[in-house]
Amino acid sequence: MSSNEQPAPETAENTMADVSSPRRPPVPDEPELRSEIAAQGPEPVLDLRPEKGFAHIRHAARDFRDGFALFRLGWTLGWLDIKLRYRGSMLGPFWMTISTAILVGSMGVLYATLFHIELRIYLPFLSFSLILWAYLNTTVSDGCATFTSSSGLIHAMRMPFSLHVLRVTVRNFLTFLHSVGVIALVFIIFRIAPVPDWQIPAGLVLWGTDLYAITLLTGVLGARFRDMPPVTASIMQILFFVTPVLWKPDLIYAGRQYMLLDPCYPLIEIIRGPFMGLSVRPSIWLVAVLYSIALWIVSFSLFARMRARLAYWV
């Protein structure tokens, strides 16, 4: 350390003209930084070679661990993404809340009339389903660009890939929160109360982990295949009509047993039921958990297999 003095306070340097200012110490003293870096332990060792066998899984697991250790960074990145989206906008996030409210309101009245269902029953159902579906849909479509949109960051320094997944998950969660107010309002107006039992926290945890896994899966596929966005868009379009989002599941009589083949149905039902104060059949819970396990196995093994190649693709 060449000197202990603090750098001179900034003079008004508003011009592009530059730094011919008097000589400052090249590296000022930073006791806090020094002690924190020292506290991080001995110097890290980076040992890279082609992965064989279980090394894939070990390295992927380490990537997850490192990624979650950087939770603060992931959260900040996701938060800044949302903040930047509204820079220069007047109503900012309320645009989304307003448009969701208008969509739910107009579709609610129209479809309640078409299906001959009382508005009092249909509107809370529709608001909850539509907003939840929008969340799922954004996760799938944004997920495709998880790694490709962070290519600058990926090529700039080595960081855990799961951090980018975390960032997109946080961003989508914050986007979803914009519309929660609409659900709350509708529920208050029509006096719908959730059943407070184990199902709500369990459902939220399952959703959280599943959305993370979906982002990971579509992210890896989207990095390799650039036609993922249109493919997922059309799959989600079909699923939207097949899944009971617009229509209530008790409207269907023939072929009810096939409904569980649609992975979105149990996933939506386990969270919609408890929140709307309806009971959920155990079979639906079972299928939802099975689908989630399958989803995690597929996305984790794909990630483990392809992790080292991601930087080559983006």
What residue ranges bind another protein (CB under 8 A)?
A: 1-2, 6-8, 10-14, 16, 18-21, 24-28, 30-34, 36-37, 40, 43-51, 69-70, 72-73, 76-77, 80, 84, 87, 152-159, 224, 308, 311-312
Residue number, 71 or 95, with CB nearest to another protein: 71
Q: Alpha-carbon distance 83 to 171, whole Å?
A: 10
Rounded to a whole number of angstroms, the minimum distance from the CB of residue 234 to another protein is: 22
CB 216 within 8 A of CB 165: yes
CB 148 within 8 A of CB 292: no
Rounded to a whole number of angstroms, the minimum distance from the CB of residue 85 to another protein is: 10
Rounded to a whole number of angstroms, the minimum distance from the CB of residue 215 to another protein is: 20
Residue number, 152 or 282, with CB nearest to another protein: 152
Q: Alpha-carbon distance 107 to 130, whole Å?
A: 10
Residue number, 76 or 137, with CB nearest to another protein: 76
Residue number, 158 or 191, with CB nearest to another protein: 158
Q: How far is CA 291 from CA 53, 206, 214, in A?
A: 26, 11, 12
Q: Return the amino acid letter for 42.
A: P
Residue number, 163 or 280, with CB nearest to another protein: 163
Q: Which residues neighbour 220 within 8 Å (Cβ) at sequence distance 6 or greater? A: 147, 299, 302, 303, 306, 310
Residue number, 5 or 118, with CB nearest to another protein: 5
Rounded to a whole number of angstroms, the minimum distance from the CB of residue 50 to another protein is: 6
Q: List the structure tokens of 283.
A: 């079979």
Rounded to a whole number of angstroms, the minimum distance from the CB of residue 64 to another protein is: 17
Q: Which among 92, 178, 193 has a CA at the least distance from the CA of 131?
A: 178
Rounded to a whole number of angstroms, the minimum distance from the CB of residue 11 to another protein is: 8
Rounded to a whole number of angstroms, the minimum distance from the CB of residue 307 to another protein is: 9
Q: List the structure tokens of 139.
A: 């996760």
DSSP 76-112: HHHHHHHHHHTTT-SSTTHHHHHHHHHHHHHHHHHHH
Residue number, 62 or 256, with CB nearest to another protein: 62
